[in-house]
Chain A
Amino acid sequence: MSARLHLGVFYPGVGPQFLWDDPSNAPHTEIDTAVAVARTLERGLFDAFFLGEGLRVRENRGRVHALDIAGRPDAITQLSALAAATSRIGLVATQNTTYNFPADLARRLASLDFLSGGRAGWNIVTTDNAWTGANFRRGGRFPHERRYERAEQFVEAALALWSGTAEVARHTDLVGLRATPTVPPSPQGRPVLFQAGDSDGGRELAAKYADVVFSANTAYDQALAYAEDLRARLARYGRPAGAVRILPGATVVLGDTPADAAERAEDVRRRQITPQRALAFLEQYWGRDLSDHDPHGPLPAVEPVEGELGPSRGTISIEDRTGKLDRIRRWRELAEAKKLSIHQLVLEVQPRQHGFVGTPGRVADEWAHYVRTRAADGFVISPHLLPATLDEIVDRLVPELQDRGVYRTGYEGTTLREHLGLT
């Protein structure tokens, strides 16, 4: 079988990725924007349109985080609206196994799958903390270390509910239900299962159940190592290596020349890390209000508040929440040595997401290499501008991929499962 690249888009809900201040940028929370984006993706023969999940508005020191875009629809509701406005694109909802009831979620996903003619996907996540749980009946009830156990039982219950019309009953300390399915099967049988967790528990869940993984391992070496690890795990569960599509997350900045693309990518980064965001970034580490500091001036002379990064929620990854005093000491040394302002320092130290930057031909070459060497089956793209990022990819990158024979020239089927080439 020839190498085949699959593309999806991760529709932005929150975060600095998205340049809301650009005059060309369409308002991301409006249905008309989502419809236009989904239709653009169909023009580009994409496999899937993804909505993320965030069940609590992000906060910085107890207040709503003001600088980034915010505001999301309920995913399944929004995707059902898009189902009627589109005809081919897969519609993937990120949904939590901690803050949902299995029978209710299974029924809603099945309804989306049925109404869309077999285009639904469920991106299974297990986010679990008391801060998010404060919005839910079951808030904080499940021990963190058992979240994958709950997820597994939840997925098993959903699969049982999707497999027929018989009553499904589960009575464990993590999942309880007695329910009878009411939604007939869609043309693809059941929603396609996506999995995004990168921990050992997440990888095991993917190996057992997933049809697609939305991986965070994007740089080539990491992507290849991840793909090999996943294939080994699949074998342990008796599943063939081709049973799962691996789609790392990606950002894309195109240009007419390599230098042009690099310049545009740097411009995007500078607009993502604004002076105000740089200051807010340091505030989280310092644990105090730094609003009287000039982001173009030197680092704060005041000492950070002791203790780790508890009060900041949703804006710093868990692994970066420890060892902050060491980190601050290193930043001070760096700023001193290179004479950096607050803004310049943060531009220097904020981790860079692995992105694809280059001419359309160059990026197409790179992606073709990933799929031919089985490091990935495609990518899930996070745009920085709506609709410009996606228009560029559809109009300039997709034809290059088609020229290289790694991308479809028309949809072969109608269901998401068919798009993905899953049996």
Chain B
Amino acid sequence: MTSRSLHVAVELDATADSLSPRALAETVARAETAGFTFVTFPDSPVPPRGGSRLEATTRAAYVSTLTDRLGLAPTANVTTAEPFHLAAQLASLDHASHGRAAWVVAADGSAETLATIGGSRLDPAALHRETADVVEVVRRLWDSWDDDAVVKDTATGRYLDPDKVHHVDFTGARFSVKGPLITPRPPQGRPVVVAADDLAEAARPDVVLVGGTGLDDVRTRAARARAAGAPLVFAELEVLLGGSAPDGPWPRGDRLRYTGSAAGLAELLGWLATGVDGVHLRPGVPGTGLPVLIDEVLPALRGEGLLLPPEPGATLRSSLGLRRPESLFA
């Protein structure tokens, strides 16, 4: 990474005012215009504080036909998913958005989460294996149709070339999947995989999200992620802008945290641009933090030539400078 510019992603929470379809559509349209590279949709099978949240892939799909350059990154948890459905859902989001889908991998092995599917808690070793297995089979399923599998050859009457649609024959620790996927290969080949650095070894993501207790720690962890083969590294950054107070407790996570003015945040991001490829912002107050980011912080970055906004019609991979992967079966 040589340029002093960066991709900015932002988390859209589903609570409070963004819960209505219209509010969701408007928020996402403004985020796209502002120049965010992608938006993330947090999710979990268990309720958030406050109780209400829509399922993330469904939310992302809803805005797919209303946008044309913004990456759409729903969170999906590996331990409660059918890997086959998950692969089809994310592939379908990629088709619906003409190549702008990503997947934020979540791996929750808690008893409460597993209970939603009638399962029980996973220990750390089992959780690691489950994460690796689900991400691996999802990738194989995305690859299970060659890009040119649909031939529409009227001479032979063949719609498909059967040699170009593959069984994946995957056997993991807790499940197996025969394949192929029901959905043709997505426009990006594979949607972009995003995961926190503690999941990176299992998930081998395209974008690693690093936390850290301070700027030096973020640099160290970014360097470590890069050394481990991460194509892109984003810093996680919780923000509370313009003297607003968090709406309730704001528990400290393993992430950078910024509290202060929009100008100060733009300055911090400029500094981060020398060490990471992008940042993933999490507004501490979803309803008010995002407008300040859109109205003040991103224009400031643009003014400095620091922002890498996506071009209309671009796939998320091309916005991020990631190559389109060859199929494992090609």
Write the chain B residue with the least CB distance to A101. B117
**Which of A103-111, A371-379, A403-411 lies at the interface with chain B?**
A103-111
Nearest-CB residue, chain A, relative to B181: A57
Give the chain B neighbours of A67 by CB distance below 8 A.
157-159
Confirm or deny: A334 has a beta carbon within 8 angstroms of a beta carbon on chain B: no
Which of A70, A101, A182 is the one whose CB lies under 8 Å from B53? A182
Asked if B57 is at the interface of the complex by the 8 Å CB criterion, the answer is: yes
| Bound complex: CA A37 to CA B84 (Å) | 27
Contact A81 B116, beta carbon cutoff 8 Å: no
Known: A56-B182, A85-B65, A111-B59. 12 other contacts (CB 8 A): A65-B160, A77-B61, A77-B88, A80-B61, A81-B64, A83-B62, A84-B21, A111-B55, A136-B175, A178-B118, A182-B52, A182-B54
- Within the complex, the shortest CB–CB distance from B61 to chain A, in Å, comes to 4
The residue that A64 contacts in the complex, of B97, B165, B174, with Cβ under 8 A, is B165
Q: Does A254 contact B (CB under 8 A)?
A: no
CB-defined contacts of B157 to chain A, threshold 8 Å = 21, 67, 274-277
Shortest Cβ distance from residue A36 to the other chain B in the assembled complex, whole angstroms: 12
Whether B51 sits at the interface, judged by CB under 8 Å, is: yes
Structural contact, A72 and B182, CB atoms closer than 8 A: yes
Interface pair A21/B152, CB less than 8 Å apart? yes
Contact of B85 among A66, A69, A74, A171 (CB under 8 A): A74
User: Within B68-102, which residues are at the interface with A (CB < 8 Å)?
Assistant: 80-85, 88-89, 91-93, 95-98
Q: Point out the residue from A82, A114, A180, A183 that lies within 8 Å of B46, measured CB to CB.
A: A180
Whether B25 sits at the interface, judged by CB under 8 Å, is yes
B55/A101 in contact, CB under 8 A: no
| Residue with the highest number of chain B CB atoms closer than 10 Å, among A21, A71, A139, A171 | A71
Our pick among A55, A66, A80, A137 for the contact of B158 (Cβ within 8 Å) is: A66
Contact B162 A63 (CB under 8 A): yes
Q: Does B66 contact A84, Cβ atoms closer than 8 Å?
A: yes
Taking residues whose C-beta sits less than 8 angstroms from the other chain, chain B's interface range is: 35 or more
Min CB distance B136 to A, Å, is 15
Residue of A67, A72, A82, A182 with most chain B CB atoms under a 10 A cut-off: A182
Docked-complex contact B116 and A73, CB < 8 angstroms: no
Q: Mark B30-64, 1 if CB is under 8 A from A, else 0.
A: 00000000000000011110011111011101111
Is the C-beta of A54 less than 8 angstroms from some C-beta in chain B? yes
List residues of chain B with CB under 8 Å of any chain A CB: 19, 21, 24-25, 45-48, 51-55, 57-59, 61-66, 80-85, 88-89, 91-93, 95-98, 115-118, 145, 150, 152, 154, 156-162, 165, 174-184
Alpha-carbon distance between A139 and B178 when the two chains are bound, in angstroms: 10
> Could you tell me the distance between the alpha carbons of A107 and B159 in the complex, rounded to whole angstroms?
35
B111 CB, min distance to chain A CBs, angstroms: 10
* Chain A interface residue number, banded: 35 or more
A30-B95, A183-B53 known; A104 and B61 CB under 8 Å?
no
Expressed in whole angstroms, the Cα–Cα distance for A52 and B160 within the complex equals 20
How many angstroms between the C-alpha atoms of A275 and B81 in the bound complex?
A: 42
State whether A81 and B65 are in contact (beta carbons under 8 Å apart), knowing that A64-B160, A108-B55 are contacts in the complex. yes
**Shortest distance in angstroms between B30's beta carbon and chain A's nearest beta carbon?**
16
**Contact at B178–A101, with CB atoms within 8 Å?**
no
CB-based contact A104/B116 at 8 Å: yes
22 contacting pairs across A/B (C-beta < 8 A): A30-B95, A31-B65, A31-B96, A31-B98, A54-B182, A56-B178, A65-B160, A71-B150, A74-B85, A76-B61, A77-B93, A80-B59, A81-B64, A107-B55, A111-B58, A134-B178, A136-B82, A136-B84, A176-B117, A179-B46, A182-B52, A275-B157
Given contacts A55-B84, A74-B91, contact A64 B176 (CB under 8 A): no
The reply to whether B184 and A71 form a contact with Cβ atoms under 8 Å apart is yes
**A104–B117 touching, CB < 8 Å:** yes
* CA A85 to CA B24, docked complex, whole Å: 14
User: Quick check: A134 and B21 within 8 Å, CB to CB?
Assistant: no
Which listed residue, A21, A66, A180, touches B161 by the CB 8 Å rule?
A: A66
Contacts A68-B159, A80-B58 given; does A184 touch B52 at CB 8 Å: yes
CA of A108 to CA of B161, assembled, Å: 34
Complex partner residue of A78 from B24, B61, B63, B161, CB under 8 angstroms: B61
Cβ–Cβ contact B177 & A135, under 8 A: yes
In whole angstroms, what is the CA distance A73 to B52 when docked?
A: 27
Q: Which of B21, B58, B116, B165 contacts A108 (CB 8 A)?
A: B58
A411 to B: closest C-beta gap in Å? 18
- Let me know if B176 and A134 touch, CB within 8 A: yes
Q: Are B45 and A179 in contact (CB under 8 A)?
A: yes
Q: Which residues of B contact A85 (CB under 8 A)?
A: 65
**B92–A78 CB distance below 8 A:** yes
Find chain A residues with CB under 8 A from B150 CB: 71
| Chain A contacts for B51, CB-based, 8 A | 165, 182
Q: Which of A30-64 contact B (CB under 8 A)?
A: 30-31, 35, 54-57, 63-64
- Which one of A30, A81, A111, A175 lies within 8 Å of B54 (CB-CB)? A111
- What are the residues of chain A within 8 A of B93 when measuring CB–CB? 77, 81
Bound state CA distance, A309 and B262, in angstroms?
Answer: 69
